[in-house]
């Protein structure tokens, strides 16, 4: 299993929407230092193991690009950080993703004065998707983002670089879903079953439903009872929302799990991005469905003609050869240009919502 609007709240954030969408690239520039990065390990409060990830940060002694597997990362490993507290953004990848799947967004924000952390969600990453459809992923993901924040704020190396009052999240696909839970969203897992009854041939969202049904049967449950147990698990590891997080930048999210009531509890600003022709998470059931439901929505951008994978970092030749599907875009879609816009929008959004002073 993949996973009444508040008008006063909507007005509360209306001040942000217009200047954010009209802000020209020239105003977003400023001094751009280099970027350092370092691998981290985070205790997973869900599975009890360790989650790998990276921290990116501004540095005056970083040059060039570092190759990490098939990723060409515009940062220098271990370069010294510029001292002083900075806003933090945590990025959550999608189903089967990687802690470097959005490295260009991470390095861009870091080059403009942010600390950015990524993590690899256990049992839902490029080498292990065994937890997809289970509570450890559907409920565990936001708990793991919270754990990443707590780890950084408790670590002597990182806590002096982070302003604990200026924290945001960003996420793609299942990571977008994750980000919405972190800022207060409440999913309804029965909605996945309802969707799959209407769209039984949707392999991306319903392909493992037979497996989950068989698993439920082996435990003496119906699939409806399985979904109800998932719902009950929402508080298993604590509250999925994190009051430390002030804003969410959400790309092509899994949105079909949210009804009006579940989206209405999102009480911090959200910027919503999605592709016009997303075939993995079709907008009418996901992003476009969410659009009128989120009371704190302050910005929306639809990428014309784009499919789901456009939000992943532009691929290196090595990654393109190994994973052509996620590296390809429809005719007329320039992923590099799309990412230039994504980066500019994300920077403007987080500067506004986290009250960051520009140079």
Percent with pLDDT over 90 in the chain: 88
Angstrom distance (rounded) from CA 351 to CA 56 = 17
Order of all β-strands in the sheet with 34-43: 76-77, 34-43, 50-59, 115-119, 86-92, 162-172, 245-251, 270-275, 297-303
The ranges assigned to domains in the chain are 7-353
pLDDT at 77 over 70: yes
Confidence of residue 359 (pLDDT cuts 50, 70, 90): low
pLDDT at 54 over 80: yes
H helices present in the chain, as ranges? 7-12, 14-22, 103-111, 135-138, 140-154, 156-159, 174-182, 190-198, 203-206, 209-218, 223-232, 260-264, 287-290, 317-322, 324-327, 335-353
pLDDT at 23 over 90: no
Q: Which fold has domain 7-353?
A: Rossmann fold (3.40.50)
Q: Which of 78-87, 195-204, 261-270 shows the lowest mean pLDDT across its residues? A: 195-204
Angstrom distance (rounded) from CA 55 to CA 93 = 15
CA distances, 240 to each of 72, 145, 169, 243, 326 (Å): 33, 9, 13, 10, 29
Confidence of residue 158 (pLDDT cuts 50, 70, 90): very high
Q: Taking residues 59-70, report their average pLDDT.
A: 93
Which of 20, 18, 111 lies closest to 354 in space, CA to CA?
Answer: 20
pLDDT at 43 over 70: yes
pLDDT at 27 over 50: no
Angstrom distance (rounded) from CA 142 to CA 145 = 5
Confidence of residue 213 (pLDDT cuts 50, 70, 90): very high
Write down the pLDDT at residue 162: 98
Kindly report the average pLDDT of the chain as a whole number: 91
Which of 279, 204, 271 lies closest to 3 in space, CA to CA?
Answer: 204
pLDDT at 2 over 70: no
Confidence of residue 32 (pLDDT cuts 50, 70, 90): low
pTM for this entry: 0.91
Write down the pLDDT at residue 29: 39
């Amino acid at each position: 299993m993949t996973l009444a609007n508040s008008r006063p709240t909507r007005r509360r954030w209306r001040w942000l929407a217009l200047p954010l969408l009209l802000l020209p690239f020239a105003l977003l520039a400023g001094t751009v230092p280099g970027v350092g990065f370092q691998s981290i390990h985070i205790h997973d409060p869900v599975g009890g193991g360790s989650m790998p990830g990276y921290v990116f940060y501004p540095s005056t002694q970083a040059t060039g690009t570092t190759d990490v597997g098939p990723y060409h990362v515009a940062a220098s490993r271990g370069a010294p950080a510029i001292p002083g507290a900075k806003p933090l953004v945590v990025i959550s990848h999608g189903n089967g993703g990687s802690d470097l799947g959005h490295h260009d967004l991470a390095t861009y924000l870091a080059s403009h004065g942010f600390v950015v952390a990524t993590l690899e969600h256990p049992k839902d990453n490029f080498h292990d998707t065994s937890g997809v459809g289970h509570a450890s992923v559907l409920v565990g993901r936001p708990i793991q983002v919270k754990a990443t924040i707590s780890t950084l704020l408790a670590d002597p190396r990182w806590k002096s670089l982070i302003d604990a009052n200026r924290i945001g999240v960003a996420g793609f696909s299942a990571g977008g879903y994750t980000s919405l839970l972190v800022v207060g969203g409440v999913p309804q897992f029965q909605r996945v079953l309802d969707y799959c009854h209407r769209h039984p041939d949707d392999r991306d969202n319903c392909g493992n439903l037979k497996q989950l049904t068989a698993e439920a049967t082996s435990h003496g449950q119906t699939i409806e009872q399985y979904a109800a147990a998932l719902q009950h698990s929402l508080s298993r590891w604590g509250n999925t929302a994190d009051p430390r997080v002030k804003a969410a930048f959400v790309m092509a999210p899994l949105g079909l799990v949210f009804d009006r009531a579940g989206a209405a509890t999102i009480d911090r600003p959200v910027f919503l991005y999605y592709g016009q022709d997303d075939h993995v998470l079709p907008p009418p059931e996901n992003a476009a469905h969410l659009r009128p439901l989120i009371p704190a929505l302050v910005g929306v951008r639809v990428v014309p003609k784009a499919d789901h994978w456009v939000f992943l970092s532009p691929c290196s030749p090595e990654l393109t050869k190994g994973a052509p599907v996620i590296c390809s875009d429809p005719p007329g879609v320039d992923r590099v240009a799309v990412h230039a816009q994504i980066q500019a929008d994300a920077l403007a959004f987080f500067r506004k919502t986290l009250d960051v002073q520009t140079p």
